[in-house]
A = this chain, B = another copy of it.
Amino acid sequence: MERCNPKLAEIQRISGECPVFGIWGHEKATELTYYGLHALQHRGQEGAGIVVNVEGELKAHKGLDLVNDVFKDVEFDQLQGHHAIGHVRYATQGQTGIENVQPLLFHSQTESMALAHSGKIINAYELRGQLEKQGSILQTSSDTEILAHLIKRDGQEINEKSISNALNELHGAYAYMILTKDKMYAALDPHGIFTLSIGLLGDAYVIASETCAFDQIGATFVRDILPGELITIEERALKSSRFAKQEKRALCAMEYVYLSRPDSNENDVNVHASRKQMGKELAKEAPAPFNADIVIGVPDSSISAAIGFAEESGLPYEMGIIKNRYVGRTFIKPSQDLREQGVKMKLSPVRGIIEGKSVMMIDDSIVRGTTSKRIVHMVKDAGAKEVHVRIASPPIEHPCYYGIDMSTYEELIATNHSTCEIAEMIGADSLAFLSEAGLEKAIVKDKSLNQGLCTACMSGRYPIDIKEGKKSPLCVIKD
């Protein structure tokens, strides 16, 4: 009888939200990776790292902090090479060690490799067990290291073939980047749950999880990596191969709803534009009540939808809630009694705007409902006559097994409550969600294969079979 190691379960929570970045063939590769990671900082704040190829030798610099702080004392001149990959870590409990900060760097007597990873391997527990039974020692709890051991199984060389074979043993949602002494690889899982895009900066190739990193460094977008595709970049050449048949595309809808930066394009769709359209669709499906005075959004991710809702409704869009820009890692959270006395955290209401108004408030999603409740009360305390809430995505009723940090079934408010019940629970005078059809309309411009979405957390239709993962249920459901 197999038992699940709860500690491993906890630490396998490498999230799909963690972004990756890579550049090949630029004399300032390290600095550019720094700026690229900087543009991707919104996807994780817990750690960051860069591995750079300095004349064939791989050197790492990592830390448990924001990108700026990890690199603040680094002399880029002393870490300079032409090829580099980087990673930003999303915070999950239990992964506090520096050893889990990516890219992971592996040296052997014959060759070295660095790996960075986004996503989640569903059969990680099984693969790890197999490797350990063969005598492998895994030093981190990350899915990334599993791939490294699969590639090097039986002392194989690192090349397209060993990487493709190793990827084929993985079952899950992932985007990988690998750097060796003479090549850079990038691969996306066969369903394309996440994205990886290819760009050009002069002669240099750039790969990133979001296109906003291209704009940050002045690179030009070339194309997205396809599901099941393995990209190999070496001296003056980018080569494409397929390690797996492309499955029906199932790009994570939450990327558009709240994960990505509004200036990114994913699958040729601008994120701000799709959000604004979600707001417009929402205004059509669930219009503001006749007496609504103003439309406000919950910063930052709901602003675009609020603007769209206002535009569609003909109501004025106002800045009703302010997000304090200085709430960083060192902010001391107010104690419970101070919060009860009204001390605010990240968000403050704009009393001068809200007072006496019937407010139409747009939020991007509701997970547990606790944040929504706090915000609705905050807006009412600031003098709003009424607070009507519209959510620019469908109710989230199912957990994500592919790497997005969400709750279990028990914690998801929409799993067990009707919209009316939720409205009452959060204190809203009315509440409505965008339909799944509306969401799709807002995102998908062309209903070809390539623009399919993963809406598993809303619909329960999981594009990748999760049965295998179910074998070690504690390990998986924990996420």
With both beta carbons as reference points, the residue of chain B lying nearest to A325 in the complex is identified as B325
Q: Is A409 an interface residue (CB 8 A)?
A: no
A317-B319 CB under 8 A given contacts A57-B7, A325-B325, A334-B31: no
Q: Which chain B residues lie closer than 8 Å to A334 at the CB level? A: 31, 35
Q: Which chain B residues lie closer than 8 Å to A272 at the CB level? A: 318-319, 350, 352-353
**Range for the number of chain A residues in contact with chain B:** 35 or more
Q: How far is the CB of A240 from chain B (nearest CB, A)?
A: 25
Q: Is A307 an interface residue (CB 8 A)?
A: yes
Q: How far is the CB of A215 from chain B (nearest CB, A)?
A: 5
A263-B350 CB under 8 A given contacts A141-B107, A154-B134: yes
A352-B270 CB under 8 A given contacts A66-B326, A307-B319, A326-B67: yes
Q: Which chain B residues lie closer than 8 Å to A324 at the CB level? A: 38-39, 41, 216
Find residues 316-359 in chain A having any chain B CB closer than 8 Å to their own CB.
Answer: 316-319, 322, 324-328, 330-332, 334-335, 338, 341-344, 348-353
Q: Which chain B residues lie closer than 8 Å to A139 at the CB level? A: 106-107, 139
Q: Is there contact, CB below 8 Å, between B263 and A351?
A: yes
| Chain A interfacial positions (CB closer than 8 Å to B) | 5, 7-8, 28, 31-32, 34-35, 38-39, 41-42, 57, 66-69, 71-72, 76, 98-99, 106-110, 125, 128-129, 132-139, 141, 148-149, 152-156, 201-202, 211-212, 215-219, 261-265, 270-273, 276, 300, 303-304, 307, 311, 316-319, 322, 324-328, 330-332, 334-335, 338, 341-344, 348-353, 382
What would be 26 A-B contacts, judged by CB atoms less than 8 Å apart?
A7-B57, A31-B334, A35-B338, A35-B344, A41-B324, A42-B326, A71-B332, A99-B99, A106-B137, A108-B137, A109-B128, A134-B135, A134-B154, A135-B149, A137-B137, A201-B341, A211-B351, A215-B349, A216-B344, A218-B343, A219-B342, A265-B352, A272-B352, A273-B352, A273-B353, A276-B318
